[in-house]
Amino acid sequence: MEREQQNYYGSLCTEMYEILHPAAPAEELAFYLSYAVEGGKILEPLCGSGRFLIPFLERGFDICGMDLSREMLEKLRQKAPEAKVIQGDILEYAPQERFDYIFIPSGSIGLFTDMEQCRRILEKMRTLLKPGGRFVFAVDTVLDRAPEDDDYREQARVKTKEGFDLVLKGKNHYDAAAQTQFSPSVYALYDGEVLLQEERMDFQTHLYRFGEMEEMLGECGFSNVVTYRSYQKDNAVDDQCEALILECTIQTERKHKWNSGSFARKSLATTPRWRR
C-alpha cells in the first residue's frame, strides 16, 4: 500500500478522475473562457489533467499550466503533447513572464487548508499577474459540508480500459472550528477478486464563509473583488450556496487593511467538487 498523502492525485486517483470527469462542465468552461482575451497570457495553476487547459489551447489561447501531480500532468501530455505545463510547487514557480489572466476552477484553491499557506498562494498569484491582470477562482462553502461517516463506504466504482474494477472508498468528517472537510480515501484496483494495487489519499478541503476569502484577497493586495453565486453572475448575499466564485485585480497601491465597502459581492451555486 502506498503512503497516504494530503491532496496528492496519484495514479489510481488520476485514473478515476479521468473516467468520471473526461471534460470540463460546459457552463463552467464557458464562464472561465469569457475572461480570456486574444493575445493575452493565461496561467492555470492546479491544472490537473487538463480538462480546462486543453479547451483553452484548442481555441488558440496562449496558456500555461502547472500542477504538483506528475500523474495528472502525464495524462494531460498524452492528450495535448504541445501543452506548456510544469510539474512543481506553485510557491516555487518563478517564470520570467507575467500573466493577464490566472484562473483556478472547481474549488481547487480550497485544497490549501492551512490558512497561512493559502495567504502565501494568494500573494504568489498577485506577483504573477500583470498590472490590470485578472484572477478568477472558485471556493466551496460551508454549505457543501458532507454528511459524517463512521467508517469507510464505497463512493465510486468504474471500469478501466483494461477491464479492471477501480473502486473508491472514503469517509467524511467535518471540523467546524477549522472549517475543514476531512475525506480520507482508498483507491483499489481489482482484477476480479484479486487486488492489483491500492492507493491512499488524505483528501482535505477548507470550506469558506461569505466574506472570508474576500477579506484575505484585500489583505493580499487585490482590489475590485467581486463574488458570484452562479455562472450568470447572480449576486451573493451569504454563503447559502455550495460554492462562490471570485474575480479580482491588483490594487494600484497596496493596502493591508480590508475595506468591506471596496468590493461588490456576488456568488456561484454550482457543484464544483471534483468527485461529482
Residue 267 belongs to some domain of the structure: no
The CATH number of residue 170's host domain is 2.20.25
The pLDDT value given to residue 251 = 64
Do residues 40 and 170 share a domain? no
pLDDT digits (tens, 9 = 90+) for 136-151: 999 999 999 999 999 9
Residue 266's pLDDT band (boundaries 50, 70, 90)? very low
Which helix (H) or strand (E) segment holds residue 175: the answer is strand 173-175
| Residue of 10, 19, 52, 53 lying closest to 162 (CA atoms) | 19
* Number of domains, the chain: 2
118 φψ region: left (φ > 0), alpha (ψ -120 to 50), beta (else): alpha
Asked if the structure places residue 272 within a domain, the reply is no
Q: Please give the pLDDT value at position 5.
A: 65
Q: Do both 135 and 238 map to the same domain?
A: yes
Residues 121 and 38 in one domain: yes
Confidence of residue 261 (pLDDT cuts 50, 70, 90): very low
Indicate whether 192 and 228 sit together in one domain. Answer: no
Pair 122, 165 in one domain = no
Q: 43 and 19 in one domain?
A: yes
Looking at the structure, tell me whether residues 120 and 221 fall in a common domain.
yes
Do 85 and 23 belong together in one domain?
A: yes
Asked, for residue 186, whether it belongs to a domain, the answer is yes
Question: At 82, which CATH number?
Answer: 3.40.50.150
Identify whether residues 196 and 71 lie together within a single domain. Answer: no
With respect to residue 125, please indicate whether it lies within any of the assigned structural domains. yes
Cell 496562449 locates to 62
Q: Does residue 60 fall inside a structural domain?
A: yes
| pTM reported for the whole predicted model | 0.89
**Same domain membership, residue 202 and residue 68:** no
Domain containing 51 equals 10-143+209-250
Domain annotation covers residue 127: yes
Cell of 215: 477579506
Region of residue 16 (phi > 0: left; psi between -120 and 50: alpha; otherwise: beta): alpha
pLDDT band at 134 (very low <50, low <70, confident <90, very high): very high
Residues 74 and 195 in one domain: no
pLDDT at 238 over 90: yes
Q: Give, for 19, the enclosing helix (H) or strand (E).
A: helix 11-20
191 and 227 co-located in one domain:
no
* Confidence band, pLDDT 50/70/90 cuts, at residue 1: very low
Residue 268: inside a domain, yes or no?
no
